[in-house]
Homo-oligomer: A and B are copies of this chain.
């Protein structure tokens, strides 16, 4: 007969943002703990325990909003992380003691990756987030818990899904140029594409629709704008 279970379940969101200067990740900084000098506030992914009456997707949306005020983000579940010691590291002890009723409780977390266009989404800290930042992927220091690992696997999931599913458009503004689309593919898949061949392929995609509209305010030939129609 199994021992009765007692564990926590959380969601963590790895929100990627794109803006022609490469891929960024949304991180939050934990608040300081009054009267605890031992606590060095850590940086972490937005994540928290799920509530008793909400689904997982719903929890991911709520937690992301609670901490960063972001709404309407494309969020996709990619992996569950359940190492029994994933929140047992010494560096995380003080913080957990300050925010949890049961700081020593095992926590299993469901990872979601999120995709946004940086120009359309502007996070603001809330709840236990002291501040919010877009960090350059590749210049990420030590994060709380096992969040470096979660982040790596999220990016891996993004890369894999970008080759088979139509998710790249979630990282672009509603109206985008083909150069933007190409740069995005180049930075995520880490390889260069030929401009003419790339455009040949895009023109075969029925869900990328050319608009009767051009870029404005650029100091060169303005590019045609396109939009994405997920249906067909």
**Residues of chain A at the chain B interface (Cβ within 8 Å):** 2-9, 48-56, 59, 77, 79-84, 101-102, 106, 108, 110, 160, 163-164
Evaluate contact between A52 and B106: CB separation under 8 angstroms. yes
Evaluate whether A5 and B49 lie within 8 angstroms (CB atoms) in the complex, with A79-B77, A82-B110, A164-B164 already known: yes
Question: Would you call B108 and A2 a contact (CB within 8 A)?
Answer: no
Between A and B, 24 residue pairs with Cβ closer than 8 Å are A2-B49, A3-B51, A3-B52, A4-B101, A4-B102, A5-B49, A5-B50, A5-B51, A5-B52, A6-B52, A7-B9, A7-B52, A9-B9, A9-B82, A52-B106, A53-B84, A54-B84, A55-B83, A55-B84, A56-B81, A56-B108, A80-B110, A82-B110, A164-B164
Alpha-carbon separation in the docked complex, A49 to B163 (Å): 35
Cβ-defined contact, B52 with A9, below 8 A: no
Q: Report the separation of the CA atoms of residues A54 and B6 in the bound assembly, to the nearest whole angstrom.
A: 13
Could you tell me the distance between the alpha carbons of A59 and B59 in the complex, rounded to whole angstroms? 24
Closest to A82 in B: B56
Residue of B nearest to A83 (CB): B55
Is A55 a contact partner of B77 (Cβ separation < 8 A)? no
Residue of B nearest to A108 (CB): B9
Whole-angstrom CA separation of A153 from B10 in the bound complex: 22
Q: Can you name 19 extra interface pairs (CB under 8 A) apart from A53-B84, A163-B164?
A: A2-B48, A2-B51, A3-B51, A3-B52, A5-B8, A5-B9, A7-B52, A9-B9, A9-B108, A54-B84, A55-B82, A55-B83, A56-B108, A59-B82, A77-B79, A80-B80, A80-B110, A82-B110, A160-B164
CB <8 Å contact, B50 and A82: yes
With both chains docked as a complex, state the minimum distance between the C-beta of A12 and any C-beta of chain B, in angstroms.
Answer: 12
A48's closest neighbor in chain B, by CB?
A: B2
Question: For the complex, what is the distance from the CA of A196 to the CA of B59, rounded to whole Å?
Answer: 51
Nearest neighbor of A10 in chain B, beta-carbon distance:
B5
Partner of A77, one of B8, B59, B80: B80
A54 to B48, CA, bound (A): 22
Contacts of A9 in B (CB 8 A): 5, 7, 9, 82, 108
The 10 closest A-B pairs by CB, nearest first: A56-B82, A80-B80, A80-B110, A55-B83, A5-B8, A5-B49, A4-B101, A53-B84, A55-B82, A9-B108
